[in-house]
Amino acid sequence: MSSSTSSLSTPSDKDKDKTSRPKPTSTSSFPTLYILFVLIFLIALFPPLFHALWTLPFKLLLPSTYSSSLSPARYTKPAIMSWTQKTISLPSKSRGSYLITDHIVSSIPEIKSYKVGLLNLFVQHTSCALSLNENWDEDVRADMSDALDRIAPEDKKGELYRHSAEGLDDMPAHIKSALVGATVTIPITNGKLNTGTWQGIWYLEFRASKHSRKVVATIQDRPTKVEFTTTLMQQALGDTDIP
């Protein structure tokens, strides 16, 4: 009797296989994750396309309201920089290096009105240069001119240069101009040029005879609080004539 009872209570091999076999994992979530991944990928690569699709129903249903609420005049960012530019004539000089800091500052009184900005000076010629260098000892300027003459000497024998249309000093002047440069940029702080103690603005003339030279001065600065507030008010009122 006991043996028959035990045989009834003991599960068969087939039942054991059913209970021990792992249940199949549901794959219904895989397509959802795949679609979500593809959408995120497309949004990351093509944000304008996503924005266009997202706003399309609003444009179709409420065209006038939608276009007026997002008009460029209302949402145009205000300018955060202002510019000032003028041309300065330099005193006519023959070959040499000259300190022109005071001449530049006196020619641009607007510098005093800028709290933070940049002054860029650009000479409009190919046989002179601008530089920042020693502002105290005149011997430094004389030595600089002599050194540049040794680097690019005049071609008295006609063996060094091809170009000599305006004289022996013509091509050497172009070489020196390329080496030194035609521009300098100086920070403006609290209405003054923020140069070092021994720094000054140099004008280097490389032609033997006197020449008239012009320098374009450009100042970039942030607008004052009054200017910035006025710009915001104009744009809030829809003024599209703001530069």
pLDDT-wise least confident of 53-62, 69-78, 96-105, 113-122? 69-78
Q: What is the mean pLDDT of residues 1-19?
A: 51
Q: Is the pLDDT of residue 121 over 60?
A: yes
Check residue 27 and give its pLDDT: 53
Check residue 235 and give its pLDDT: 53
> What amino acid is encoded at 106 in this protein?
S
Angle between helices 29-45 and 47-61 in degrees, nearest 10:
90
The C-alpha atoms of residue 67 and residue 98 are separated, in whole angstroms, by: 60
Residue 240's pLDDT band (cuts 50, 70, 90): very low
174-205 per-position pLDDT tens digit = 999 999 999 999 999 999 999 999 999 999 99
The C-alpha atoms of residue 97 and residue 88 are separated, in whole angstroms, by: 18
> What amino acid is encoded at 13 in this protein?
D
Structural domains of the chain sorted by starting position, each given as residue range(s) with its CATH number in brackets: 82-221 (2.60.120.460)
Q: Which residues neighbour 93 within 8 Å (Cβ) at sequence distance 6 or greater? A: 203, 205, 210, 211
- Beta-carbon count within 10 A of 177 CB: 21
The C-alpha atoms of residue 166 and residue 152 are separated, in whole angstroms, by: 16
